[in-house]
Amino acid sequence: MPHAPRSPRPADEAPAPPENAAENAAVTAARAARKRAKAERAKGRTAYNAGREAGVDRLALHRALTDLVRADETSPPPRGGPRRAQSGTAGKWVPIGPSVIRRGQAMDRPLVSGRIRDLAVHDDGRRAYAASAKGGVWYTEDAGATWAPVGAWPGERRVTGGNTSVFACSALLVEFGATQADDVVLAGTGEHPISWNQHGAGSFGGVGVLAAIGPVVGDAGAGRSWEWDAGVADLESAGIFRLVRHPRRHANAGSSDPAARDEVLAATTDGLFRGVRTALPAAAAAGHVPGLPARDGYVWTRLAGAPAGVVVTDVLWIERGAGERIVIFVSGDGVEVSDDDGATFDPVPTMHWPAVAVAGRGSLAIAEAGRAYVLFERGGRPAVARIADLTVATPVATRLTGVPQVWDSPTTREYDQAIAAEAFDGRDRVYLGGNTVMPRPNTQWCASLWAYDVVGTALRPRVGVSDRAQAGADRLGLIGNNVHADVHIIRLPGPSAATRPVWVGCDGGVFVSPETGRVQTFAPMNTGLSVLETGYLDVHPESSHFAATGMQDNGTAVRTGDTVWEAIHVGDGGGVAFVPTDPSIIVAQYVGGFWRSESGTFRDPLTRGVRRPTGAIDNHPEYTTRAEWYSGVATIVDDSGSQPRTRFALGTDRVYLCDNLGTGTASRWAVLGVTPVGAAANATLAQRDPFPMASAADQNFGRLGMGRVAALTWLSSTELIVACVNGVMRLTELLPQRWHAERLTTAGALSPGTQLDLSITDVAEVPGTRDFYVTTSGSTAVPTADTCYFFEAATATFHRTGLREALDSAPGVNGPIDPAYSVVVDPENPTVVFVGTACGVFRAARAGTPPVHSPWAPFVNGLPDALVQDLVIQRPLGGGASPRLLRAAVQSRGIWETDLAAPTPDLTYVRAHPFDDRRRSVPALAVSPRDGALLFHTASPDIVVRPSWPAAAAPAFPVRDPRRPTAPLTRRDSGFHTWTFQTAFRWWYPSVRATGEWTEAFSDLITRDRRVRGMPAGTTITPALWDAVVGGTRVRSPAPGRLERSADPADPLAVFRPPWHTAACADLPASEVDLMECVVPPSEILSTWVVTPQPSVVEVLLHRRGAAMAGDGAHVAGLLWRPLARGDSALSEPSQAFVDWWTGVVAGGGAVPAPPAGWSFVPGAGPRQTHQVAGQLEARLPKAVPIPLDLSGQRTSLMLLAFVATVGVGLAPVVGAPTTLLALADSWPHIAARRILVTPNPV
């Protein structure tokens, strides 16, 4: 995408955008109108995705990739889903996040990730699998604290091709073994609903059911993780709602005994299928499929009772006497049962059309034995019915009262729906999930997530969970306050109990409540779950680190860490751009014609709203009807005047231009004039102010007549190329503010004989010329239609580049329709072009006249086999040759980058400051690209200091004002004291995240705790509450790796236990986001942390640029420290002694060398007395290593130096001949510094 790029720390965006509206029946008429508009926007999102993901012929695509990428390979790549393992350092792609998004949408702005369709959770709650919408299967072994991708993707086995993906995972069936190596995992692929139109499917269809034994462990081996036999011949292109196992069978890896072999049912968008585990004979190689040995696998067949075309949205398989019964929900019909293995199905009359006016999708849940609940729609409203006994001859359904507005439209009913049920203590509990709700006016939009008891024939808020009196629910039954919107799955692992965990998968990732789902007790479990649907991307013009991205249903985020990003706008997120003449301004799309910015000078183009549109946007025709759901923007710096200015262009079905962004004045927009067909070459139309445009003629002024704008690019400051969905136009400013239009496509043709029955997706200029490229969705109807065209200005001709033919599977076979979504030309080598497709990035070079493109080749060293929505190249900064970074926005796998100018060797590093990516030396005077603040060289974010645990004694209640020594802590006291309290309080309420912030959930829990302890009502921390919690909370370890609260006074106090340690994972290392949020200094002076003289721990965060490989060496850190006298910075010392010392520690033989003179070394238990990171270190998820440092006797400033390396990999060379320690810390990636001040009174 063409882009020419800071953003102040966002204030809470409350209220959230009105376009997310979904209110109850009592809201005002205006809000009701917004609700109807939201339903239309939901349809719009589906339609947009459908068009953008059009026509992928993945059969031919994967055949081609097999030939082009892995001609000599027969097994797919290792862990994480790249097409192949990283091979060498040239063109190596590495992820830069988001590993998690901070300040996501929901109350208290939680950590969020992307869409999770299903979850499978072990009874102990420690091990779990997650199925992501387009990012594959993920696994956690620490109760969701961190996640890792699972499986090598067997994408070769397609039969008919089409818009399908092995990454589109929608259903899980896991039989947990004793260890992860024994887990039998089935993953149903294909999202639902699949919305077909002329461009293909909005959600990817699937390739069948993936199966594996121990796929997590299988990643480490040389073979594939998933089995070959997925049922692709019958299940390709379908979406799978649910997988269930025969009630009398267990997962069996090798049995062919009909009485014992595993049998599974799959409820799909195209009928009901049975998979039978059986012995399969050897098979000879056939085309792209290699020869297969004799093996066990699942054989899939469609059941006659639910034939092709029947949409089965849920399925149960239960025992009935000596036999079994299959229960299904058929979309639009209702519940049906079969007692003959699915040969025939009979309706349940009281839960089926025509007796019940069922609309669309429904879901099933069993509470106990044969008692089940059904979530569906009747009469335009969500409904719940109870079936008392599914095993009787004719089950009877009873409709329950008290059902909330779980969803707000037919579209969201199909997309957002979940139910779970269980029986406990003589009563049934029911959980319901839908799309979104606002708990109170002018708060954040949260999950429509509800918890009820079934009382007679009514749903009643559960006392202590979702009622007002005891639980404090804002709405009766509502528990989704702290959960991201759009719920897809609710899981209740383990046996029923008075207090039990509740797991939720939604568009914001995974959320878990350890307290039966009680309101305000859900915590995000999203760290490392890199499945954000990043769509658009831009990079700061002066920083190789800072970037911004727009994401489906997760707004716009900026990069604030190495892999951690932070939301600056919530809701949806599309096009995004920095203003190059003032990159403190970021302009971002919500959807359609809704654009916004944090800058107070920004006025949106449609309503002139400050920072964002006014409420008038809801009725504006260019909000959604006349604008693409997501679209790109174009910026250029015009140096022709006395002062450089940014020209900023965006489009609906006409083009809006702003020339004064970044000047300190309110932005002014103009609609560009479009001269009529046949106008003279020098004819022009003046651009017009879009206000007022009351008449139809006004509203139609400047309409392009080629559909909605998908992308734009500037050829020069007066020449703009506009790529509409159905054509390409050149707009030229022949006179100031007067424009001439040239339609470069006529009668729907890009080149002679090529009808444009395809969608244009992107456009990119060839720097220094008037030439450009466009990419398209391709066409199944026209064999000559390409997916990438080159426009040669000299001849005014579109030339096919042959991208489609490069993907042919065999001579004479029509190439795959692999949509190309993004294109960019290398500005340093403008004959080289990169294209992002449905399955990665391709590269070609252009030469000759007429232009010929060298054979397209995959450019995918380590890149996931996923859809690449945007591409951006950042020119080298500071006049150097490197880095020249190509970045890719990969749908559901985040942002990836590779250096086009130099190899990317494996590197373990620490950072000098938060915006240091160690791609280049840190400038002597560094400022934040986000807010312009000075960045100190002695304040590395990768070195933080916290109090050591266990504490010898409980910290005393903090006295902030001697005149009021018992004044309680309140919301105004966010910081170290609140953090100290939280480190103990979280062992009573595990959903508390110890950040020092006073959130609404934290305040509610204080109120609850005071009530439980018999203290006066209130929301403050009194001395009595402090003493009870900080001085009275203790923990013990009942088993290795486990923790629990203890009443034994001999056990250690919980206060200061690392906030990332949990009951299920007592020794978890800190992640990057943990150190960013969960270590709070007592105070800070100009980035110098002020701490107390006590036993402490220095956490050093290690980063990796490269892949984690089997047999990796140890990832280690070392720590040097020394006191500083007044005026002594320590950074003026000669640098070579420090290089020699660390080199000798890591690579030398014999004794560990002594540290440089005056410095103290903290020895560890790792190799060569270093401190070793636990487990593997991967680029996608940095890890910290704790190093003890006793500060008890200190009363001065200290300089801390952290050194890092991977043993056996070698250290990076020292470049630039740094002579001082300061220069070394700025240029050598293995060292960073932090200055601290130790004093008894730090606050």
Q: Are 905-949+1070-1243 and 967-1057 the same fold in CATH?
A: no
CATH class of 967-1057: mainly alpha
Question: CA nearest 431: which of 468, 356, 353, 483?
Answer: 483
DSSP string, 1186-1230: EEEEE-TT--SEEEEEEEEEETTT-PPPP-S---BHHHHHHH-TT
Count CB atoms within 10 A of the CB of residue 781: 11
Tell me the three state secondary structure of residue 356: coil
What pLDDT does 78 receive? 29
In the prediction, which pLDDT does 733 show?
98
Q: What is the predicted pLDDT for the residue at 880?
A: 67
- Residue 875 has what DSSP assignment? P
The pairing of beta strand 100-102 with beta strand 564-569:
parallel
Q: What is the pLDDT of residues 593-639, one digit of tens each?
A: 999 999 999 999 999 999 999 999 999 999 999 999 999 999 999 99
What is the 3-state secondary structure of 200-224?
Answer: EECCCECECEEEEECHHHHCCCCCC
Q: For residue 444, what are its two tokens?
A: 């954040």
Spatial separation of the C-alpha atoms in residues 407 and 596, rounded to whole Å: 27
Contact indicator for 513, 523 with CB cutoff of 8 Å: yes
Q: Characterize 151-183 residue by residue with b for buried, 16 or more Cβ atoms within 10 angstroms of its Cβ, and e for exposed.
A: bbbbbbbbeebbbbbbbbbbbbbbbbeeebeeb
Report yes or no: 338 and 325 within 8 Å, Cβ to Cβ: yes
Q: Model-level pTM?
A: 0.93
Q: How far is Cα 408 from Cα 386, in angstroms, rounded to an integer?
A: 22
Question: 1087 in the Ramachandran plot: left (φ > 0), alpha (ψ -120 to 50) or beta?
Answer: left
| pLDDT at residue 232 in the model | 84
CB 242 within 8 A of CB 315: yes
pLDDT at 30: 40
d(CA 888, CA 537): 8
CATH code given to domain 905-949+1070-1243? 2.60.40.10
The pLDDT score that the predictor gives to residue 292 is: 84
Q: What is the pLDDT of residue 486?
A: 97
Rounded alpha-carbon distances, angstroms, from residue 247 to 260, 346, 421, 422: 12, 20, 18, 18
| Dihedral angle, C-alpha 443, 585, 94, 1181, nearest 10 ° | -40
Q: At what angle do helices 1000-1012 and 1023-1030 cross, to 10 degrees?
A: 90
Which regions in the chain score pLDDT beneath 70?
A: 1-86, 152-164, 194-202, 218-224, 253-256, 286-290, 694, 747-757, 780-781, 783, 806-817, 879-881, 924, 1107-1112, 1243
Encoded amino acid at 418, one letter: A
**What is the C-alpha to C-alpha distance for residues 54 and 42, in angstroms, rounded to an integer?**
18
Greatest Cα pair distance, the chain, in angstroms, is 92
pLDDT at 755: 43
- The Cβ-side half-sphere exposure at 77, using a 13 Å CA radius, reads 23
Domain positions in the chain: 25-75+110-281, 304-397, 400-523, 592-744, 905-949+1070-1243, 967-1057
